[in-house]
Chains A and B, each alone.
Chain A
Amino acid sequence: MNWEIIIGLEVHAELSTRSKLFCPCSTAFGGAPNTQVCPVCSGMPGSLPAVNRAAVEYAMRLGLALGCSVAERCKFDRKNYFYPDLPKAYQVSQLYEPICRDGALEICSPSGPKTIGIREIHMEEDAGKLNHNGVTLMDFNRCGVPLLEIVSQPDMRGGAEAVAYLEKLRDTLLYLDICDCKMQEGSIRADVNVSVRRPGEALGTRTEMKNLNSFKAIARAIDYESRRQADILQSGGAITQETRRWDDANGVSYGMRNKENAQDYRYFPEPDLLPLRIDAAWLAAVRESLPEMAHQKRERYMREHGLSAHEAAVLTSHRNVARLYEELCALSSQPVESARLLTGEVMRLCNATGTAAEDLALDAAKLARLVGFVLDGKISRAAYKEVTEAVFTRDADVDAYIAEKGLMMSLRGDEAAEAARLVLAEQPGALADYRAGKQKAFGFLMGQVMRKLGGAGNPALAERALRQALDGSD
C-alpha cells in the first residue's frame, strides 16, 4: 500500500530593502564583519526599534500578489532565546497578528497546475552570523535585515511539488523585486515539514527539517525523510515530532530537538513598537504600484506580440529574461525576432554554459543591433549566431566584431553580378563542366564568386547572380 507524502514549507525570504527592518544600517551582503551595525541592530542597552516603511510595503506587495488579506492592524512580538548570533536575545517577529493571511500560489506541479494555500506571511528580523575558525567570532551585519516568513498550507504531495512551489515563489519574489533570491547567500531559505499517511487518513505526525541550502537538497531531504517515516510506520513504530537537521553531504537527516526538549520562546507583544496600522489608502497605493506579474506578461506577449505559448512561457520564466525581452523589443521594435533570439540562441547558450537566468546580463542594445542587421539582410543567420555568442560570452562590440570578421554581407546585386561575370570568364573549364551537367562545378563557381566578394557577400544574392550569369552565358 502506498504512502502519501504531505509537505508544508516555511520559506524565509530576505528583503532587498536598502536598510534594515528597525534601523538605518545597510543590508548589503558581504561587508567586512560588523561594519553595518548600530546600537539598534547590535542590541546595545537602551536602543529601540523603528519600523522601516519600505519593508512593510514589500510584505504588502507579496501579500497582494499571493491574494492574501492584508491586516489593517498587525503587531510585532518577541521570540526569546539565547544564542550568540542574536544580540538582544530575542528576535522581533510576528506570532499573534501577522501582516498577511490566507493566500494561494498557483504552481505547475508534475501532474499539472495546482493551487497551494498560503497560511500566512509575517515580518521578522534576521539574526547575525557566527564565523567559526578555531575561535568563533560574531558578525552582526545581517542582524536586523528584514525577512518575510511565508508559511504554506500542507498542500504539497512530494518533493517535486515542493520544488515547483519554491520555484514559483522565487519567481514571484523576483517579479515583485523584493528579494534577490540568492540561495547561496542565504537570501531565501526553506524549512520543510514532512509527514506521511495512508491516502484518505488524517494527517500524520510531522517532522521539521532545517539547513536546506538548495532546491536539490530539499527534494533529496523530502525523499529521505518520507522514506524514513514510512519505514518506521511500516514496522509498527511511531513518528516523533521533532526538528531534524539535513546533512546534504551524507544524504541523511538527524534529530536536533523533539517536543520534550523543545525551546519555550516565551513570545509576547513587543512593547517597543506600537501596533502597525495599514489603512485603505496605503494598501491601494501599494496595490497600484505592483509590477506586472509573470502570468500577466505571458498573456500580453501572446496577445500583443503574437508569440506562441511556449515562447511566452520561456520569456516569463524569470523576471530577468522578461526584462531583457522587453528592453530588446523597445530598442528593436521587433518582438517576434527578439523572442526567437532569446528563446532560441540565448537559451541554448545559457544551457550550454550553465548560466542561471538571474545571472544573465546581456546588453539589450547590442542584441537589438544584431536583430536589425539580420532582418535587413546585412548579416547571415550563421553570422547572427556567431555574433550573439560573442556578445553572450564576452560582451563583444557588435560592429567591431562584424568588421573584424568581415561578416557584413554585400548588399548590392550589381557587385555580385560583376563578380559572377568575371568568374565565368576566368574559369572556362568549370563552366564547361557545369554545362556538361556536373553539379559539383556549380559549388566551385559559387565559392569563386564568394571569394571575389571578399567574404562580405550575401550567399543568396551571389547564388542568384551566378545563376543569372550562367543563364545569360548560354
Chain B
Amino acid sequence: MSALELGSAIRRGEAGAAEAVAACIDAAERDNPRYGAFLCLLRERALARAKAVQARIDSGEALSALAGVPVAVKDNISTQGVATTCASAMLERYVPVYDATVITKLEAAGMIVIGKCNMDEFAMGGSSETGAFGPVCNPRRVTHVAGGSSGGSAAAVAARLAPLALGSDTGGSIRQPCAFCGVTGIKPTYGSVSRHGLIAYASSLDQIGPLARDIDDCAALLSVISGPCALDSTCVIDAPFDFSRQRPENLRGTRIGLPRNYLARGIDEDVRAAVAGAAREFEAAGAAVDEFDMPLMDYMVPAYYIIACAEASSNLSRYDGLKYGYKSPAAKTLSDVYRLSRSEGFGLEVKRRIMLGSFVLSSGYYDAYYNKALQIRALIKDAYNKLFERYDMLLSPVAPTAAYALGENIGDPMKMYMGDIYTVSVNLAGLPAAALPCGLSREGLPIGFQLVGDSFSEGKLIAAGRVYQSRTAHHTAACGGDAL
C-alpha cells in the first residue's frame, strides 16, 4: 500500500492511524537491528499523536491526503524534545528545544513521526558508514551500503518500515541512497522547503526532500513540507507546491537532454545500460530525447567540495563543548575544551571536511580556492540555464555504480567523492531533481536515474516521473519488512 493509499484508507475508516504507526514501529523494532535504518523509534509519542490525529479525522476534520500516515525523519532535522544527533557522538545527547519547520508542517498535515533515521555523520558521506552509531545496511543486500547520507531514510522506505521519509540533499544525499535502495526521492529546488531546524552541513546547498516508494507519494509529501517560511530567508518560494494537475497521459512535446559524457566513461556498464533503458522508455512515452555534452564536468566535484567544506567548517564551529553536545572529560583549559571536545566528538570524515574547509577559507588561499569555486559555481548555473532553453529536463545517472559492499570504499575518500559526480552540480545550481529506480544490476542491486529540471519545475519532473512509473515496475519491487 502506498502512503497515499494508506492515507485514503484512514480517511475512509478502513485503516487506523494508530494501527499504521504500530505496524511500522513493530516492523522497525524487529528489523532495525539488521538495517540500522533508525537511530531511535518513538513508539509512545507516535501512538499518542496517532490517536489524537485519528480523533480529528473521525470528527470529520480534513487535515491532508497524508493525515494519519507514519513518516520517518532523518536525524539532522530538529524535533523538539527528541534527540537529534546527526549520527554524531558530538550531538549524542542533544535534544532540540524547537521543531524544524518541516516537522511543524508534517504535524499540521496530521502525519506521525515514528522515528529518527540514521545517516552519515552531519550528512557528510555517501554511504551512511560515517555515523557514530554504526552503518546503515542496504535492505536489498545487507552486506552492501544503503548509500548516503540519507541512507537510513532510504532503507526505512525500501524495507517497508515506513511508507515515507524525509532526507536532506546537499550533494546527492537523497538521490543516491534512493538509487542504491531502489526507492524514489526528490531533491527540491533550493529555497522551496524551509531549512529552519535542519542542522546545517552546507547552508547554500542543503535542502530537505521526500523519499517514498513512488513519485506520487513523494509529490504528496513535498506538497506538505514546501512553502515560504519567515524563519528561513533563503526560502523564497511564494506558496506550497500543488502537483494535483501534473498528470499527463504521455510525454509528447517534452524535450529531454541526455548528457552523453556522463555515460561515456567512469560509469558501471549495468548503470549505463539501465539509464539508457530509461531514456528509451521516455522516448516510447512520447518525449524527444536528445544527447548533449555536459560542460564543466571535471570542475563539479572540486567546486562542490570546496564550497560545501568551507560552509561546513563554519557551520560546525558552534560545536565547541561549551553549550550542548560532547565535552571532553579530559579538558582542563578553554583551549582544551575546544581542541579535545572537537577531536573526540567528531568522526574522521567530518574532521577531514572541517580542515579542508578551514584551509580554503584561510587568508592567502581564499582567492585561489573558495573564490575560484564560486566562479565555477556561477559558470555551472549559466550552463544549466542555457540547457533549459533547449530542454525541459535532463536525464542522467544518479551514481556511477550500484551499491558497493560495506567497508569497500570508506578508506578511499577520493573514490567516495567521485561517486558524487552526477549529483553535486544540481545542488551547486540550486535545481530540483527526482531520483527514480530503473532496474537492477547483474548482482541484483537497484539502479536509479535522475531527472533534473529548471528552478521550481518540480511539477514537470513529477509529471514525467508519474508517466514513467505508470509504464514500468522498477519501483514496485519489494524487499525486507512487510509492515505495509
Taking Cβ atoms with an 8 Å cutoff, the residues of A that contact B are: 39, 42-51, 78, 80, 82, 84, 87-90, 138, 264, 266-268, 271-274
Contacts and interface: CB of A to CB of B under 8 A. Distances in A.
A84 B334 contact: yes
A44 B200 contact: no
B320 A264 contact: no
B313 interface: yes
B132 to A, nearest CB: 16
Given A50-B232, A266-B363, 8 more contacts: A46-B100, A46-B199, A82-B320, A82-B338, A266-B314, A266-B361, A267-B361, A272-B203
Interface string B77-106: 110000010100001001011101000000
B232 A48 contact: yes
B196 interface: yes
Contacts of B458: none
The 10 closest A-B pairs by CB, nearest first: A89-B317, A266-B361, A271-B204, A271-B203, A45-B199, A46-B197, A46-B78, A46-B199, A88-B318, A43-B318
Contacts of B362: 264, 266
A45 B314 contact: no
Contacts of B314: 78, 80, 89-90, 266, 268
Contacts of B196: 46-48
A73 to B, nearest CB: 15
Nearest to B322: A84
Contacts of A44: 96-98, 324
Interface in B394-451: none
B231 A50 contact: yes
B191 to A, nearest CB: 9
Contacts of A51: 233
A87 B96 CA distance: 15
A80 B233 CA distance: 21
A129 to B, nearest CB: 14
A447 B94 CA distance: 87
Nearest to A50: B233
B323 A87 contact: yes
Contacts of A46: 76-78, 84, 96, 100, 195-200
B150 interface: no
Contacts of B86: 45
A45 to B, nearest CB: 4
B246 interface: no
Contacts of B76: 46
Interface in B278-311: 310-311
Interface in B178-199: 195-199
Contacts of A88: 317-318
Contacts of A48: 195-196, 231-234
A39 B196 CA distance: 10
28 contacts: A39-B97, A42-B323, A44-B97, A44-B324, A45-B84, A46-B84, A46-B195, A46-B196, A46-B197, A48-B233, A48-B234, A49-B233, A50-B230, A50-B233, A51-B233, A80-B361, A84-B322, A87-B323, A89-B314, A266-B358, A267-B366, A268-B310, A268-B361, A268-B370, A272-B200, A272-B203, A272-B234, A273-B234
Contacts of A50: 230-233
A90 B233 contact: no
B233 A45 contact: no
A317 B96 CA distance: 51
Contacts of A274: 233-234, 236
A45 B338 contact: no
Nearest to B339: A82
Contacts of B361: 80, 266-268
Nearest to B86: A45
Contact of B317 (A47, A80, A267): A80
Contacts of B94: 45
B233 A87 contact: no
A104 to B, nearest CB: 31
Interface in B345-389: 358, 361-363, 366, 370
Q: Kindly name the residue among A44, A80, A264 whose own CB sees the greatest number of chain B CB atoms within 10 A.
A: A44
Given A48-B195, A51-B233, A88-B317, A43 B323 contact: yes
Nearest to B374: A269
Contacts of A78: 314
Q: Kindly name the residue among A50, A267, A272 whose own CB sees the greatest number of chain B CB atoms within 10 A.
A: A272
Given A47-B196, A266-B362, A274-B233, A90 B203 contact: no
A197 B338 CA distance: 42
Q: Kindly name the residue among B196, B231, B314 whose own CB sees the greatest number of chain A CB atoms within 10 A.
A: B314
Contacts of A268: 310-311, 314, 361, 366, 370
Contact of A39 (B91, B98, B195, B202): B98
Interface in B316-353: 317-318, 320, 322-324, 334, 338
A45 B313 contact: no
Nearest to A38: B98
B310 to A, nearest CB: 6
Given A45-B84, A46-B96, A264 B363 contact: yes
B98 A89 contact: no
B318 A45 contact: yes
A181 B479 CA distance: 68
Q: Kindly name the residue among A46, A78, A87, A89 whose own CB sees the greatest number of chain B CB atoms within 10 A.
A: A46
A272 B234 CA distance: 6
B116 to A, nearest CB: 14
A49 B200 CA distance: 13
A134 to B, nearest CB: 16
Contacts of B236: 274
A51 B233 CA distance: 8
A78 B370 CA distance: 14
Contacts of A49: 233
Contacts of B199: 45-46
Contacts of A272: 200, 203, 233-234
Q: Kindly name the residue among B204, B320, B362 whose own CB sees the greatest number of chain A CB atoms within 10 A.
A: B320
Given A42-B323, A48-B233, A90 B317 contact: yes
A349 B232 CA distance: 53
A89 B318 contact: yes
B320 A89 contact: yes
Contacts of B203: 271-272
A174 to B, nearest CB: 31
Nearest to B203: A271
A267 B362 CA distance: 8
Interface string B229-260: 01111101000000000000000000000000
A79 to B, nearest CB: 10
B91 A45 contact: yes
Contacts of B231: 47-48, 50
Contacts of A80: 313-314, 317, 361
A169 to B, nearest CB: 31
A274 B313 CA distance: 20
Contacts of B232: 48, 50
A45 B78 contact: yes
Contacts of B323: 42-43, 87, 138
A268 B363 CA distance: 11
A48 B196 CA distance: 6
A263 to B, nearest CB: 10
B208 to A, nearest CB: 11
